[in-house]
């Protein structure tokens, strides 16, 4: 087995020993009292995380499962959805809407930027009525965060549409108070800013979205949200849960609550600023425009001539630091550093030194 390295990916990210050990809890009956007590506690903590009085559901799936769930629960053939597209994940979201038989109105911007709120407003006005806005909050492929979740959700609501936010790589590093901001569904994954292992997706659901689902049941079984809400009320899941991951999530959310939500967000602010400053001091530039730079994913261009695969291999092998490469048009040109979950001064220092020393070898 590989020795544990410092995982500075944009997810999965480093997991504390406390959370890893939690997964050694006993195998128990998921229809018994011990599980119900555990799961009710997890749901309560998850509601706190989303800052909601509404419902939350947890799927045994990676983040993509949560995105599929949101789309297949809300979109019926012929429905129109507005989808800002500014990178790989938002493009995938538009495609998922189309796979479900919907029509995606893509509001695009150059990668590294984000479509403006005015562009969204214009697209929505042109469309008149539509079913939903599907917005990726944090484009993990470019390291760009949309700075207008609240405003865009309000615009959607003004058009009678639902607002769905993919906050998979941001919630926890950013606060998204879903009730206050009028977000109908918000999706995240266990392996990012929650700092639990990969394998769970978490989704908040507003009463407005649930009311719609009552009148129009979705055509999906595993991701049927109303069924999860019904079972969740008694501390159960409709299907067999990934028990070790539920133990881990419980512990990771306890860690988060002990630290305090706003303290965690502030820590992400501080650590990402250090990463941006550190890389800029090495003469590197970023994919994201300054005003929309993500606090959880830093996408930086390689200096001329540095081979992506060789650089990242040396970084992992010689320095024990794992970072990600670029996506799509950025493959080979960009590396991405995650600033998530357990991120701290020590991790940032180790990573900056490792990148600087390895670049010095490859630049020559």
Ligand X SMILES: Cc1ncc(COP(=O)(O)O)c(C=O)c1O
Residues contributing to the site for ligand X (CB under 6 A): 11, 62-64, 67, 89, 136, 138, 140, 166, 168-169, 189
Helix (H, G, I), strand (E, B) or coil at 141: coil
Closer Cβ to ligand X, 19 or 136, answer by number: 136
Closer Cβ to ligand X, 51 or 64, answer by number: 64
CB of 234 to ligand X, least distance (A): 28
CB of 334 to ligand X, least distance (A): 15
CB of 12 to ligand X, least distance (A): 8
**CA atoms of 185 and 208, how far apart (whole Å):** 10
CB of 258 to ligand X, least distance (A): 25
Q: What share of the chain is helix, strand, coil (3-state, %, to 5)?
A: 45, 15, 35
**CA atoms of 84 and 262, how far apart (whole Å):** 28
CB of 11 to ligand X, least distance (A): 5
Q: Which residue is nearest to ligand X (CB)?
A: 63
Residue 32 Cα to chain centre, angstroms: 31
Closer Cβ to ligand X, 166 or 251, answer by number: 166
Closer Cβ to ligand X, 105 or 136, answer by number: 136
CB of 142 to ligand X, least distance (A): 10
Closer Cβ to ligand X, 86 or 228, answer by number: 86
CB of 300 to ligand X, least distance (A): 17
Closer Cβ to ligand X, 90 or 300, answer by number: 90
Give 202's strand partners.
58, 188
Closest CA to 188 of 210, 164, 170: 170
Give 189's strand partners.
201
Closer Cβ to ligand X, 73 or 138, answer by number: 138
Closer Cβ to ligand X, 161 or 200, answer by number: 200
Closer Cβ to ligand X, 67 or 203, answer by number: 67
**CA atoms of 168 and 140, how far apart (whole Å):** 9
Helices (H), the chain: 17-22, 33-50, 63-74, 88-99, 117-127, 149-158, 178-181, 207-215, 225-232, 243-259, 261-281, 308-319, 345-363
Closer Cβ to ligand X, 191 or 300, answer by number: 191
CB of 342 to ligand X, least distance (A): 17
**CA atoms of 243 and 25, how far apart (whole Å):** 9
* Residues 108/115, Cβ–Cβ less than 8 Å: yes
CB of 190 to ligand X, least distance (A): 9
Q: Helix 33-50 and helix 243-259: axis angle, to 10°?
A: 40
* Residues 265/246, Cβ–Cβ less than 8 Å: no
CB of 7 to ligand X, least distance (A): 13
Closest CA to 220 of 104, 82, 57: 57
DSSP for 28-48, written as a single string: --TTSHHHHHHHHHHHHHHHH
Closest CA to 155 of 171, 172, 134, 133: 133
Residue 328 DSSP class: G
């Amino acid at each position: 087995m590989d020795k544990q390295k410092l995982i500075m990916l944009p997810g999965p990210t480093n997991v504390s020993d406390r959370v890893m050990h939690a997964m050694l809890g006993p195998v128990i009956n998921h229809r018994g009292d011990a599980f119900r007590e555990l799961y009710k506690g997890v749901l309560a903590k998850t509601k706190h995380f989303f800052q909601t009085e509404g419902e939350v559901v947890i799927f045994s799936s990676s983040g993509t499962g949560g995105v599929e769930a949101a789309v297949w629960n809300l979109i019926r053939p012929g429905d129109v959805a507005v989808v800002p597209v500014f990178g790989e994940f938002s493009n995938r979201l538009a495609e998922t809407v189309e796979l479900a038989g919907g029509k995606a109105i893509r509001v695009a911007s150059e990668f590294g930027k984000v479509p403006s709120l005015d562009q969204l407003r214009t697209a929505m006005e042109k469309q008149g009525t539509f079913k939903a806005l599907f917005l990726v909050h944090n484009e993990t492929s470019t390291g760009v965060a949309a700075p207008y979740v609240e405003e865009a959700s309000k615009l959607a609501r003004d058009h009678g549409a639902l607002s769905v936010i993919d906050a998979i790589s941001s919630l926890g590093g950013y606060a998204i108070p879903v009730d206050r901001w009028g977000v109908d569904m918000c999706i995240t994954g266990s392996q990012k800013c929650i700092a639990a292992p990969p394998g769970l997706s978490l989704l908040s659901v507003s009463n407005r979205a649930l009311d719609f689902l009552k009148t129009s049941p979705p055509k999906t079984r595993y991701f049927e949200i109303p069924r999860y809400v019904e079972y969740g009320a008694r501390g159960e899941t409709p299907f067999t849960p990934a028990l070790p991951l539920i133990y881990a999530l419980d512990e990771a959310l306890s860690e988060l609550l002990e630290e305090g939500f706003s303290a965690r967000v502030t820590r992400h602010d501080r650590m990402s600023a250090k990463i941006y400053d550190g890389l800029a001091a090495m003469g590197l530039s970023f994919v994201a425009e300054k005003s929309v730079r993500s606090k959880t994913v830093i996408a930086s261009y390689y200096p001329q001539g540095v081979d992506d695969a060789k650089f990242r291999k040396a970084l992992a092998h010689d320095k024990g630091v794992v970072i990600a490469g670029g996506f799509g048009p950025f493959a080979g040109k960009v590396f991405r550093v995650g600033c998530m979950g357990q991120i701290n001064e020590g991790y940032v220092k180790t990573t900056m030194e490792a990148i600087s020393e390895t670049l010095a070898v490859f630049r020559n």
